[in-house]
Amino acid sequence: MSARLRANGVIIAIDGPSGAGKSSITKLLARRLGYLHIDTGAMFRAVALMAKRAQIACEDDPALAVLCRGLDISFCRDGENCRVLANGEDVSGAIRSEEIGLLTSCVSARRPVRDALLAMQRGMGEAGGVVLEGRDIGTVVFPDAEVKFFLSASAEERGRRRYLELTARGEQVSLKETIDKVALRDRQDEGREYAPLRKAADAVDIDSTSLSMDEVLALMESAVRQKLAALQGE
């Protein structure tokens, strides 16, 4: 499908490994463009949290399918922030623990979960005017997205950023342990059978290891505005 303007603009897909800064950049880019930020990673984390509460093993596909059928995930604006709701409950904080992060990698590899959330994500974003971030947005969820980015950074840098985030919240973790967990998450995401982490062939590759958030944002905004100008001129 050729690139086009949709009803509300374009779809912007930002993929990349854990800790590359996707969530922060996506929020800023969406705000800058006046677009809706759809945090697909938070959606998978919400499923992982609910599975843990229900004591469902991450390999139990039938139980996960039932869980997803009864799960309503939505986002609501809270000032400049976006809250994640699961069946009406604000789970924005609960889904951000290290335990849920690792469980998410396992749960998100299960086909019933991915199929259920795929339908939700496509419904939220098909009219455009959205910025989505995750692991397979540009390859599986919206392969026809008008703008795609693959945001990465070295495992050491991503681990360092995560370590600073966790310690700022008062969690007792070591830098080495955090880097090791980032590397483990990479192996899980890249090696899973269904919808593994991959860079779309037409994605703009951005390595943020030595770039500031402002520099990454400027690169992305410039690329998006160039695409918008080109589509509006057609």
Closest CA to 217 of 31, 17, 11: 31
User: Is residue 85 situated within a structural domain?
Assistant: yes
Q: List the domain range (segments joined by +) for residue 120.
A: 11-229
User: Is residue 1 situated within a structural domain?
Assistant: no
User: Is residue 98 situated within a structural domain?
Assistant: yes
Per-residue pLDDT of the chain (234 residues; tens, 9 = 90+): 456 789 999 999 999 998 888 988 999 999 999 998 888 889 999 999 999 999 999 999 999 999 999 999 988 777 767 789 999 999 999 998 888 988 998 898 899 999 999 999 999 899 999 999 988 899 999 999 999 999 999 999 999 998 998 899 888 899 999 999 999 888 888 887 777 788 999 999 999 999 999 999 999 999 999 999 999 886
* Number of domains into which the chain is organized: 1
Q: Which residues pair with 150 in a beta bridge?
A: 15, 205
User: Is residue 6 situated within a structural domain?
Assistant: no
pTM summary value: 0.80
Asked whether 95 and 48 are in contact (CB, 8 A), the reply is yes
User: Is residue 72 situated within a structural domain?
Assistant: yes
Asked whether 196 and 114 are in contact (CB, 8 A), the reply is no
Q: What is the CATH number of the domain that holds 145?
A: 3.40.50.300
User: Is residue 74 situated within a structural domain?
Assistant: yes
Calpha distance 214→230 (Å, rounded): 24
